[in-house]
Amino acid sequence: MNKCKHCGGDKLIKDLHVKRSNEIGFYGIPYTKSIFVGTEPFRIELCQECGTINRLYVKDMNRNWVKDDPK
Ligand SMILES: [Zn+2]
């Protein structure tokens, strides 16, 4: 089982989303799929003993990532 890098605890919860508090939507990395632009959401692994975010990650790392800001 994974351990917290900060406190060594093992009460880690993963796949939490990064969300804005007052607006609909979430933060993520933009990618293109044919003519569409999607957003792969950031996921968090949180230690429930000390509150440390141990990992920030995405589930699908093989997207066609947008490397420049969309104009
Ligand atoms: Zn911890």
Q: 26-66: per-residue pLDDT in tens?
A: 899 999 999 999 999 999 999 999 999 999 999 999 999 99
54 within some domain: yes
Q: How remote is the CA of residue 56 from the centroid of ligand 1, in Å?
A: 15
- Segments forming the whole domain that contains residue 44: 12-65
Tell me, what's the pLDDT at 2? Answer: 85
30 within some domain: yes
Rounded Cα distance between 40 and 60, Å, is 7
Q: How remote is the CA of residue 58 from the centroid of ligand 1, in Å?
A: 21
Instruction: Tell me which H or E stretch contains 33.
Output: strand 28-33
Q: How many distinct structural domains can be found in the chain?
A: 1
Q: How remote is the CA of residue 39 from the centroid of ligand 1, in Å?
A: 29
Look at the pTM and tell me if it is higher than 0.85.
no
Tell me, what's the pLDDT at 71? Answer: 60
4 within some domain: no
25 within some domain: yes
Q: What are phi and psi of 35, to 5 degrees?
A: -95, 0
6 within some domain: no
Token code pair at residue 17? 């989303």
Tell me, what's the pLDDT at 28? Answer: 92
Torsion of CA 56, 61, 63, 67, to 10 degrees: 50
List CB-based neighbours of ion ligand 1 within 5 Å: 4, 6-7, 9, 47, 49-50, 52
Dihedral sign from CA coordinates of 29, 41, 58, 32: negative
